[in-house]
Amino acid sequence: MKIEIRHKTTNAVIIEGEAESLKAFLATNRKYVNLVGADFRGANLQGIDLGGANLASTGFQDADLRGANLREADLQVADLRGANLVTADLRGANLQRAMLEGANLEASDLRLSDLRRADLEGAILVGSDLRGADLWSANFWGANLRDVRINKTQQTELLRAMKVVIE
């Protein structure tokens, strides 16, 4: 299957090729390819290795990223609305101001990630590990946080992010 990676603003083709060879290319060259602003909307990227890649402002809306390695990736302002990130490795990822509304992050590893001002409204985080993650001003309104792992120091910030009034 042939796929194209397009810039989400200009719609210009950045990279094109066969799906499997493109996945292998991206995994091999992730540190050298600038994917800022690329559009992976609805793409099947299950199990892809993009650890450490610059994916700022990239569109992953409704993409399948199950089991993906996004460890220490720069995902600032990335559009991950409705994305499937079940069991994804997001340790140390920069998710500042990322749009994760309705994303499925079940059993994902978000330890030490930066979620400042990220929007996780309605996201599914069942069984995810958020220990050490920066949750400052993140929005968890309506998110499913059953069995989420956090540090004691994160409790107050998470309650604030869920719009719980603490008096």
Q: pLDDT at position 109, please?
A: 98
Q: pLDDT at position 35, please?
A: 82
Q: What is the rounded distance in angstroms from the CA atom of residue 16 to the CA atom of residue 2?
A: 7
Q: pLDDT at position 125, please?
A: 97
Q: What is the rounded distance in angstroms from the CA atom of residue 82 to the CA atom of residue 163?
A: 22
Q: pLDDT at position 166, please?
A: 64
Q: pLDDT at position 56, please?
A: 95
Q: pLDDT at position 64, please?
A: 96
Residue 135 Cα distances to 1, 113, 153, 167, angstroms? 39, 9, 11, 20
Q: pLDDT at position 19, please?
A: 58
Q: pLDDT at position 36, please?
A: 86
Say what the pTM is: 0.84
Q: What is the rounded distance in angstroms from the CA atom of residue 44 to the CA atom of residue 52?
A: 20
pLDDT mean values, one per 10 residues, the chain (167 residues): 64 66 67 78 90 92 96 96 98 98 98 98 97 95 94 85 71
Q: What is the rounded distance in angstroms from the CA atom of residue 138 to the CA atom of residue 35?
A: 25
